[in-house]
Amino acid sequence: MSISSPSLINTPNGYIPASQRIPAMARPFVSDRALKTLDLVEKFVEEECIPADAVFRQQLGQSTAERFTNHPQIMEDLKAKARELGLWNMFLPKNHFENEGAGFSNLEYGLMAECLGRSETASEATNCSAPDTGNMEVFAKYGTEEQKRQWLDPLLKGQIRSAFLMTEPQVASSDATNIELSITRDGQYYVLNGQKWWSSGTGDTRAKVFLVMGKSDPSNPDTYKQQTVVAVPADTPGITIRRMLSVLGYDDAPHGHGHIFFNNVRVHKSNVILGEGRGFEVVQGRLGPGRIHHAMRSVGAAEKALEYFLARINDPRKKPFGKQLSEHGIMLERVARSRIEIDAARLSVLNAAIMIDQGSAKDARKEIAEVKVQVPAMLFDVVDRAIQAHGGGGVSQDFPLASMFAGARTMRIVDGPDEVHILQLGRNENKRGKVLLDKIAAQKQRTEELFKQYKMVQRDVLQLDRRSGNASRL
């Protein structure tokens, strides 16, 4: 199969392909194969997926009932094209998944994710969409053979979808030790009771398995060992999706975000992931790379917003007060600030990706936390400026900006609100406080020695001990 021609991106005006736009500093880390795939991804996204977005949206339908049950044909057609092009499962990093994935590093896939982030359909079309990606990683890393056969295989093939259920409405689940859904053993079975919300992906009727984190050992003195993750088939009796949550007015169909009740939901104990009490391990292993992927999609979304911004201010029909918008310095300033912020954010994410590639997500904890705060703020500001340049159109359904804005706002909350990452970063940095106090004190000490050496008396220094003195002026 070939991608339809004529190309939208390889225009005579000389659109520079993605492989040549990689920051200089990141280039040594990208293989030739990845460069080629990257350009293919870009071409697929720009020429196939972005034009398909509006069709996909309309095929979903209008009523809530339709939107969570329709499976747009165009998505299946895109998936077929993507597989034909070899653009499938690029997210599985080669250092951990030699066989299952496409064999790219987190950095390499990150660059591709930036392209995918420009389209609403591209991630799913290439089987690289959350939360499936993280869940596939979980199954691949921690799953039993049986679990892999049952869920990983069809997930890798894009036949089913999945969800990860963690957040709960009645507690401050930004601190995951607070979660309350109970998992109790009953012979060969676990029995689950409680509720979850913001269970992304549960709206899609093809989501066949829910990974559910609950509390199995609430009295364990180690609060990070009280939790267990179990794989629960979505049609297990006792599960009710009470309602779908909206995100600033969007339902995010077809995957959506469910509010789900568990009432004596029974699953066999073989459904446990990794082992009882190891829920936090599962979560930790799942989050790092996913945050990088998501961050790079956001970088791509920001680039797209900037493209719309640039197109808008050059739209010949838009001339307030006799000047093209692009002739207004205020607009150019915002373009420039967006350019700076996007480029800076990209470097941060790629650096974190390299750290994961060279070690593990744990080694890159600081870098991942930084990215988790920096990127959503960047995306939010870039989209906000693009919207403003579009006037009323910017908040309407006519441009992709409005839904990007909702998404950007939500990213500051999802997967741990900013504040959690900020405090973690702050506390981590603060550990250096004592060493630095000592270093500065030692430097001051040496300064005093130097004054003596040069036979000088130091003036103008903070005196911290009481001194005798007299009433004379300085």
* Binders in 256-295 for a copy of itself, by CB under 8 A: 259, 261-263
Tokens 């089913």 sit at which residue?
A: 160
Q: What is the DSSP letter of 144?
A: -
Using omega within 30 degrees of 0 as the cis cutoff, is the peptide bond preceding 6 cis?
yes
Whether the Cβ atoms of residue 174 and residue 207 lie closer than 8 Å to each other: no
Tokens 């690289």 sit at which residue?
A: 128
Tell me the CA distances in angstroms from 206 to 108, 111, 254, 396, one per residue in order.
Answer: 29, 29, 10, 30
Residue nearer to a copy of itself on the CB measure, 1 or 456: 456
Token digits of residue 69? 């049950």
Residue nearer to a copy of itself on the CB measure, 89 or 298: 298
Whether the Cβ atoms of residue 100 and residue 89 lie closer than 8 Å to each other: yes
Instruction: Indicate the SS3 state at residue 200.
Output: strand
Residue nearer to a copy of itself on the CB measure, 144 or 388: 388
Rounded to a whole number of angstroms, the minimum distance from the CB of residue 297 to a copy of itself is 19
The residue from 272, 308, 368, 376 that contacts a copy of itself (CB under 8 A) is 308
Residue nearer to a copy of itself on the CB measure, 136 or 181: 181
The residue from 19, 29, 105, 231 that contacts a copy of itself (CB under 8 A) is 29
Whether the Cβ atoms of residue 263 and residue 240 lie closer than 8 Å to each other: yes
CA atoms within 13 A on the CB side of 383: 25
Task: Choose the binding region for a copy of itself from 82-90, 96-104, 135-143, 328-336 (rule: CB under 8 A).
Answer: 328-336
Residue 396 in contact with a copy of itself, rule: CB under 8 A: yes
Residue nearer to a copy of itself on the CB measure, 145 or 465: 465
Residues 58-117 that bind a copy of itself (CB under 8 A): 58-59, 62-64, 68, 73-74
The residue from 28, 145, 187, 219 that contacts a copy of itself (CB under 8 A) is 28
- Binding string, residues 32-61; x marks residues near a copy of itself by CB under 8 A: --------------xx--xxxxxx--xx--
Residues 406-465 that bind a copy of itself (CB under 8 A): 406, 409-410, 412-414, 417-427, 429-430, 432-440, 442-444, 446-447, 449-451, 454, 456, 458-464
Residue nearer to a copy of itself on the CB measure, 250 or 274: 250
Residues 238-257 that bind a copy of itself (CB under 8 A): 238-250
For residue 36, give every residue at least 6 positions away whose Cβ sits within 8 Å of its Cβ, in sequence order, or none.
Answer: 19
CA pair distance 424, 432, nearest whole angstrom: 14
Rounded to a whole number of angstroms, the minimum distance from the CB of residue 366 to a copy of itself is 8
The residue from 3, 15, 83, 148 that contacts a copy of itself (CB under 8 A) is 15
CA pair distance 58, 24, nearest whole angstrom: 40
Whether the Cβ atoms of residue 95 and residue 357 lie closer than 8 Å to each other: yes
Residues 334-353 that bind a copy of itself (CB under 8 A): 334-337, 339-340, 343-345, 347-348, 350-351
CA pair distance 394, 384, nearest whole angstrom: 9
Tokens 């999802």 sit at which residue?
A: 414
